[in-house]
Amino acid sequence: MKILIADKMDPRAAEIFRERGLEVDEKPGMTPEELKAVIGQYDGLAVRSATKPNEDILSAATNLKVIGRAGIGVDNVDIAAATQRGIVVMNTPFGNSITTAEHAIAMMFALARQLPAADASTQAGKWEKSKFMGVELTGKTLGLIGAGNIGSIVASRALGLKMKVIAYDPFLTPERAVEMGVEKVDLDALLARADFITLHTPLTDQTRGILGRDALAKTKKSVRIINCARGGLIDEAALKDALDSGQVAGAALDVFETEPATDSPLFGTPGFVSTPHLGASTQEAQVNVAIQVAEQMADFLLTGAVTNAINMPSLSAEEAPRVKPYMGMAENLGKLIGQALGDKIESLAIEVEGDAAELNIKPISGAVLAGLMGSYSDSVNMVNAPVLAKDRGLDVSEVRHNHEGDYHTLVRVTAQTEKGPRAVAGTLFGHNNPRLVHIFGVGIEAELSGPMLYITNTDTPGFIGKLGTTLGEADINIATFNLGRRKVGGAAVALIAIDSEPDKATVDKLCALDGVRQVVPLRF
């Protein structure tokens, strides 16, 4: 497999790829046109923030399986386009966490003591000691907008400075707030109470412009604002007006809505401090994110482990070997449901019980959806299958049963149709060999593999002979023959593995046999 490192990255990243047996090309600084011309050769793409794999570039990425972002923010990657093409997008949210948090604290000190202006004045030969009156951090209230990984580190450092910390984060639980030592508040309360506000949230439709003109008007008079997260969280024109009016006493930005920020209405404004997106710019952080992105991408390509993915469930390297047999079985159950029921499915329930209930259910569910949606669309995998299912309005639920039933482990997929629920189930023999054990109300043991025929019929003597004769006349060899029935003379099921696929004429002849209710060619 081949990896393209498209941005300047610590040399350790390329070393790790090569140590793992992957071929690596390092080509930083390519134009979008140059990247599009070569991207089809690669299985993995490693980037920082300069390279922007958009929909046009990804349309040429015919072999690409994973994009690794060495850093936290992924707004330079078209995640929707990658997901539609089944490409995993990963980031490294922990490699530069401490570095970014420390930069936010440094910016807070710079604002509190007017350090940049005082430095410039002093080096200009002035001695304006009385001009630069600062404020202490001790006893002040810090408002966190975003209390995740970086926000929690900032909170820890601020508490060490004897500040009071309040936090607005819809995903922050009361228990986690207590653990962090912060007070959870709503956004309006934070704006009204905070002496300093620092942002630590991704840029999404919900957070874009979270500190806009209306929000800035609600802040405590003479608040100081720090943003080392993402450009676009703050309305820069509104912030300029708030600084001019004195509503905001100071602002420090490491990130801007448009970067490189060679011009901004904020430049030159008294009380404004800026740095050129230095949040992750330490030697330690650069090494850490390079190592992490290389390890994550290599693990995914070589073992199927998924770490810090933006668009699919995570699956650790330790979990992957144990979950993989279930994923193969789950994908086949999804294929069976999709091919047998067509587009009549209204909702889907995925259940695990016994040993399977102890596993990470998300990859199993993703595999079911990949199999199911592959019956309707081309180029489907675990990455884009949930999106395709959502686009079709398919409601998907997951159920975990800790008890053990007839089998030591079981995965059951139930499709709700207009005629009621239809379920299939599978287990593992010897922890590695998947078997179908239940199909639409009939117990059966079968291996799902290659071309097959799913036939429902009335249980009558001589049917199997007629079925075999019809296939023989079509020169179709039977590999395995699996039977099940609800009761004598009632509904019966045949699941037949065959060496070649039947043509339409053969299927029509099978449908014409006495007692046949349904014939569905299957492929696994």
**pLDDT given at position 491:** 84
- Reference 299, options 324, 315, 317, 318; nearest CA is 317
Q: How far apart, in whole angstroms, are the C-alpha atoms of residue 378 and residue 39?
A: 21
The candidate with the shortest Cα–Cα distance to 456, out of 491, 424, 487, 426, is 491
pLDDT of residue 386: 87
Which residues have a Cβ under 8 Å from the Cβ of 195 and sit 6 or more positions away? 135, 140, 141, 142, 220, 223, 224
CATH 3.40.50.720-classified regions of the chain: 2-94+284-303, 97-274
Which pLDDT score, from 0 to 100, does residue 377 have?
78
What's the token pair of residue 1? 């497999």
Chain centroid, CA 239 distance in Å: 33
3-state SS string over 8-44? CCCHHHHHHHHHCCCEEEECCCCCHHHHHHHHHHCCE
* Angle between helix 504-511 and helix 463-473 axes, rounded to 10 deg: 160
Residue 168 has a pLDDT of 97
Query: Hunting for tokens 């590999």 — which residue is that?
Result: 479
In the chain, list all ranges with CATH 3.30.1330.90.
312-420
Domain 2-94+284-303 CATH (choose: 1.10.287.610, 3.30.413.10, 3.40.50.720, 3.30.1360.180)? 3.40.50.720
Domain 312-420, architecture per CATH: 2-Layer Sandwich (3.30)
Contact between 71 and 52 (Cβ < 8 Å): no
Active-site residues, by number, are 230, 259, 277
β-partners of residue 516 are 457
- 123 three-class SS: helix
pLDDT at residue 368, as a whole number: 95
- Alpha helix stretches (DSSP H) within 85-235: 97-113, 115-123, 149-160, 174-180, 187-193, 213-217
pTM for the predicted model, two decimal places? 0.68
Query: In the CATH scheme, what architecture does the domain 97-274 have?
Result: 3-Layer(aba) Sandwich (3.40)
pLDDT score for 89: 96
Does the domain made of 449-524 have the CATH classification 3.30.70.260? Answer: yes
Q: What is the pLDDT of residue 73?
A: 80
The per-residue pLDDT for 397 is 94
pLDDT of amino acid 391:
83
Residue 210 CB contacts under 8 Å (≥ 6 apart), including other chains:
145, 187, 199, 201, 233, 234
Tell me the pLDDT tens digit for each residue of 240-289: 999 999 999 999 999 999 999 999 999 999 999 999 999 988 999 999 99
At what angle are helices 361-373 and 320-341 packed, to 10 degrees?
Answer: 30
Furthest-apart CA pair in the chain: how many Å?
A: 107
- Pick out the chain residues at pLDDT < 50: none
pLDDT for position 116: 95
- Token pair of 332 as six digits: 């086949």
As annotated, the residues of the chain forming the CATH 3.30.70.260 domain(s) are 449-524
Starting at the edge strand found earlier in the chain, the sheet holding 491-498 runs 478-485, 491-498, 451-458, 516-523
Q: Long-range contact list for 33-40, CB < 8 A, 24+ apart? A: 35/6, 36/60, 38/4, 39/4, 39/64, 40/64
pLDDT of residue 296: 95
Residues with Cβ within 8 Å of 272's Cβ and at least 6 positions away in sequence, in order, are 243, 250, 251, 252, 253, 266
Q: What is the C-alpha to C-alpha distance for residues 241 and 94, in angstroms, rounded to an integer? A: 35
